[in-house]
Amino acid sequence: MYRSKITGLGFHVPDRILKNDDLKQWMDTSDEWIRERSGIQERHWVSEKEAASDLALAASKKAMIMAGVGADEIDLVIVATISSDYFFPGVANQLQSKLGLRTVGTFDIKVACSAFVYGLSIADQFIKTGQHKTILIVGAEAQSKYIDLTTRGRDMGVLFGDGAGAAILQQSGDESGILSTHIHSDGADMKNLWMEAPGTSGNNWMNRETLKNGLHHPYMNGREVFRNAVRRFPEVIHEALEENNLSIEDIKLVIPHQANYRISQAVAKRLGVGMDVVYSNIHKYGNTTAASIPIALTEAHAEGRIERGDHIILAAFGAGYSWASAAIRW
């Protein structure tokens, strides 16, 4: 049984930056309103010609350089996204071609905000069993393409940002690496955070009624999502701690999905730690869904917040509902 470790990281965000006040051209909002409710100050959005695969490609190249990995060494590609370029095939399939990889296996996973940690968990199993030696995992989102840029949709519209983060996972030759991963789901309340169309349920394909009712835009019941997030985040973090006989005092950094700064504050309070332990960069990028954890992890590492031997926890909660965590010794 092998242990897997992250050997390379990289992220990429589009050049286009929108500050909170820039959103007033589409909806009734303000910088103060957005900051108070989310902590977001600005976000990056793709241009008309950019898509999720373009962001994924740039982030992947950076992660490969850091890991010193060539295209011929990658054995599997996993992409976490809910905003793929096309309804099918997936971004991972496009990425295989754009990177010039061998005809390796590729697939997308659609678990929204928890998808990168889910992908890390899947990749960890392949490394542990010796099935693969080098795996590329990417979280990539171009959500600005389908958000509702009206006052009706502002509760979601002000939150989303575009970007991609990537990691290279390889066999570890020492004590560092992924210690455990924990994934969960409960679909009973999925309609509190979902996008109803396009889909094959009923008459939910793209038609006049779909467009008229805005079913092709994401919807969120903010109060219920907040309530569940502040419950599930600490639960899944404690699950990772208990699995590895660790306490919160042993953790150098918790890197959560960047959903809302108020959620991160509530999670820190429940864990009994300060915000210096709970990493946050939502003010710069907004909610980039599956890309948020790898972007935050890359930045935290670049800032020197994570050093060799440190224990860190990745944690996510999002649509589904789905939630997940990973305990890592760096």
Q: Catalogue the active-site residues.
A: 113, 257, 287
CA distance 229 to 226: 5
Query: If DSSP codes are grouped into helix, strand and coil, which group holds residue 262?
Result: helix
CA distance 45 to 196: 23
Is the CA virtual torsion 186, 236, 183, 56 positive or negative? positive
CA nearest to 315, candidates 325, 300, 329, 327: 325
Find out whether 136 and 168 touch, Cβ atoms under 8 Å: yes
CA distance 243 to 313: 12
Find out whether 287 and 295 touch, Cβ atoms under 8 Å: no
CA nearest to 84, candidates 295, 315, 289: 289
Which residues, 6+ apart, have CB-to-CB distance to 172 below 8 Å? 2, 3, 4, 5
Q: Which two tokens stand for residue 131?
A: 């099935």
Q: Which two tokens stand for residue 162?
A: 């575009």
Q: Which residue has the tokens 């709970």?
A: 278
Is the CA virtual torsion 43, 48, 49, 52 positive or negative? positive
Measured N-to-C along each axis, helices 115-128 and 292-302 cross at an angle, to the nearest 10 degrees, of 70
